[in-house]
Amino acid sequence: MTVADSAWVLHVDLDQFIAAVEVLRRPELAGKPIIVGGRGDPTERAVVSTASYEARAFGVGSGMPLRIAARKVPEAVILPVDHEAYLEASETVMATLRAQPGATVQVLGWDEAFVGIETDDPEAYARSLQAAVFERTQLHCSVGIGDTLVRAKVATGFGKPAGVFRLTSANWLDVMGDRPTKDLWGVGAKVSGRLAKLGIKTVAELAAADPQTLIPEFGPRMGPWYAQLGRGEGASVVDDSPWVARGHSRETTFQQDLTETAQVAEALRELTARVLEDIGAEGRPVIGLTLKVRYAPFATKTYARKIPETSEGNEILARVLELASGIEAGRPIRLLGLRAEMPMPDDARKGHTPTRSGW
């Protein structure tokens, strides 16, 4: 698809997806505060996977400890995570998007995708797309319209729930200029704080920043990229090439804190074995490791290292245990996570918006 006046990027985001799937299975839950996480037991250690809009109104959000969410909304319906049900619903939605006339679909996750189209009326196309998804799945979605992937992604937030919103070079700064940089896709609270130390607090200030001034803080790749984000610029072509994972990660929340070195070592061996199973299915070696440690009550640290390319399980385990030497001795641990990075194959997608590892 070539970039032209009639070429548009649509970002489709299913509204409260996991909660909505649960309501479809249990219509009596409609309108009630729903929290989905772990095994659905707030007395266990788990985090919120999603919350319905009714629960979000009480301050419940993804990643919040389930027990805290339950205290915020005592009347909430708390349900266990059902990966298979969400995957089935997601696949139906994505198949519906691909079936739309002239659509090029780039899947971003269970509940969102970019759709590239050529049309003179992107709003009408977006509404027809929403209708098709609802007719097939009874799920509502919001659609952001943009002339770049970044602008389409950001626009979706203004369309929620179940609406349509357009962001282009013409209205980008009018809509986004006075907003804090953390409202940008790809800029979280930490990066926003680092930008603030440079005197950059708003999107307009980031858009006006000289990319070279950001390099000392963020490096030669990410510095200019953040400046580009501030302008809403970047890729404008939706790529439907099969997604290729850069890595695999696993994590375990322990119902009882780990306090002994032997316990930690055994947990790391089990975690490494699970990650190696995922890596083995890819047929690619490991080139980097990141160990995530969440100390009680809720302080998280990560330890990362590049390693010589290898597919040897024992060597990878040895590298993991080396990383674990940074763990603070005697400090109770409630969660361990491990991510293994892999080299991208020659046919991997190029030129896409950089993303964080997920941790």
In this structure, the answer to whether residues 3 and 103 fall within a common structural domain is: yes
Q: What is the mean pLDDT of residues 275-298?
A: 93
In this structure, the answer to whether residues 164 and 176 fall within a common structural domain is: no
Residue-level pLDDT at 357:
41
176 lies in a domain?
yes
Q: What is the mean pLDDT of residues 198-220?
A: 96
Catalytic annotation present for 205: no
**Which of residues 283 and 100 earns the better pLDDT score?**
100
In this structure, the answer to whether residues 329 and 267 fall within a common structural domain is: yes
Q: What is the mean pLDDT of residues 39-43?
A: 95
Burial of 256 (0-12, 13-18, 19+ CB in 10 A): exposed
Range of the domain at 132: 1-168
Residue 347 has pLDDT above 50, yes or no: no
Residue-level pLDDT at 241:
86
In this structure, the answer to whether residues 186 and 320 fall within a common structural domain is: no
Strands 333-341 and 247-258: antiparallel
Residue 229 has pLDDT above 60, yes or no: yes
Residue-level pLDDT at 359:
55
**C-alpha–C-alpha distance, residues 127 and 107, integer Å:** 19
Mean pLDDT of the chain: 92
In this structure, the answer to whether residues 202 and 152 fall within a common structural domain is: no
In angstroms, what CA-CA distances link 311 with 79, 284, 286?
39, 7, 6
In this structure, the answer to whether residues 51 and 139 fall within a common structural domain is: yes
Residue-level pLDDT at 19:
95
In this structure, the answer to whether residues 1 and 150 fall within a common structural domain is: yes
pTM, two decimals, is 0.80
Q: What is the number of domains present in the chain?
A: 3
Residue-level pLDDT at 11:
98
Residue-level pLDDT at 4:
52
Instruction: Read off the CATH number of the domain in which 279 is found.
Output: 3.30.1490.100
Instruction: Read off the CATH number of the domain in which 190 is found.
Output: 1.10.150.20
Catalytic residue among 112, 205, 266, 315: 112
Residue 350 has pLDDT above 50, yes or no: no
